[in-house]
């Protein structure tokens, strides 16, 4: 599928390569192996012949690191995740076709995906994967939930991601990944307190209330940080 340039956009911190694949996978609650396949591609067996899955996400540098925008693209792609590599290859082709039709690049980041672009994408996905109506509805629901975890800037591009809380409410936005705060590391929403720091203080023997008081948080926020850190 057509991708944006592999060179980082020095004018936009969201395109700076700062995350390892393993760290990004932890932030999103997915396997490193799956994310690596999405970033570098891989081959699979198709009727006794080798077929390739092109990268679904293009990293912004050759350093092995990926950007906040790449992290968001992976977050959105989770709505289409399948263990079947041929299905993921078809998703990649559907995204490329939708981008061409809409005249945009990096559709997974674009505001069009929240509107008419979503219908264009699902039209392509349904054609290539021959989806049943129930499967398509399930995918649309997952995509909508993923898009609702993003804050966007005035141009409609993602500026903050609220990763899903393990075993928590799908609507809860307790943790945030903001490229402009704490170097893009996960923090407790509404603060600059890193979730890893909170968990580390608890592991060092401090009690919940002490950590909450020291960090300017309430106990529920401390628990959000602990649950997030120790589940990813």
1: in domain = no
20: in domain = no
**pLDDT for 117:** 94
Three-state secondary structure along the chain?
CCCCCCCCCCCCHHHCCCECHHHHHHHHCCCHHHHHHHHHCEEEEECCEEEEECCCCCCCCCCCCECHHHHHHHHHHHHHCCCCHHHHHHHHHHHHHHHHHHCCCCHHHCHHHHCHHHHHHHHHHHHHHCCCHHHHHHHHHHHHHHHCCEEECCCCCEEEECCCCCCCCCCCCCEEECCCCHHHCCEECCCCCEHHHHHHHHHCCCCHHHHHHHHCCCHHHHHHHHHHHHHC
The whole-model pTM stands at 0.88
230: in domain = yes
Q: For residue 184, what are its two tokens?
A: 């893009």
pLDDT at 48 over 70: no
Summary mean pLDDT of the chain: 88
Residue 155 or residue 50, greater confidence: 155
Our count of domains for the chain comes to 1
Question: Over the stretch 181-224, which tens digit does the pLDDT of each residue have?
Answer: 999 999 999 999 999 999 999 999 999 999 999 999 999 999 99
Q: How many CB atoms lie within 10 A of CB 203?
A: 11
188: in domain = yes
107: in domain = no
User: 232 pLDDT band (50/70/90 cuts)?
Assistant: low
What CATH number did the domain enclosing 224 receive?
1.10.10.10
31: in domain = no
Quote the domain boundaries for residue 174.
Answer: 162-232
193: in domain = yes
Question: Over the stretch 81-118, which tens digit does the pLDDT of each residue have?
Answer: 887 778 888 999 999 999 999 999 999 999 999 999 99
């Amino acid at each position: 599928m057509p991708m944006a340039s592999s060179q980082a956009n020095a004018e936009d911190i969201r395109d700076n390569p700062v995350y390892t694949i393993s760290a990004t996978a932890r932030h999103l609650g997915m396997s490193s192996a799956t994310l690596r396949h999405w970033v570098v591609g891989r081959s699979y067996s198709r009727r006794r012949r080798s077929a390739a899955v092109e990268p679904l996400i293009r990293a912004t540098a050759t350093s092995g690191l990926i950007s906040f925008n790449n992290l968001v693209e992976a977050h959105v792609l989770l709505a289409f995740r399948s263990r079947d590599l041929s299905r993921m290859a078809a998703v990649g082709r559907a995204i490329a076709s939708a981008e061409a039709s809409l005249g945009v690049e990096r559709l997974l980041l674009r505001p069009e995906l929240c509107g008419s672009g979503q219908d264009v994408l699902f039209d392509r996905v349904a054609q290539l994967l021959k989806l049943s109506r129930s499967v398509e509805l399930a995918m649309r629901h997952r995509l909508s939930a993923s898009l609702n975890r993003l804050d966007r800037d005035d141009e409609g591009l993602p500026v903050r991601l609220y990763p899903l809380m393990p075993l928590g409410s799908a609507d809860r936005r307790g943790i945030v990944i903001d490229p402009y705060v704490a170097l893009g590391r996960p923090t407790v929403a509404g603060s600059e307190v890193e979730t890893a720091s909170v968990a580390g203080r608890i592991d060092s023997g401090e009690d919940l209330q002490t950590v909450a008081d020291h960090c300017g948080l309430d106990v529920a926020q401390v628990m959000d940080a602990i649950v997030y850190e120790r589940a990813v």
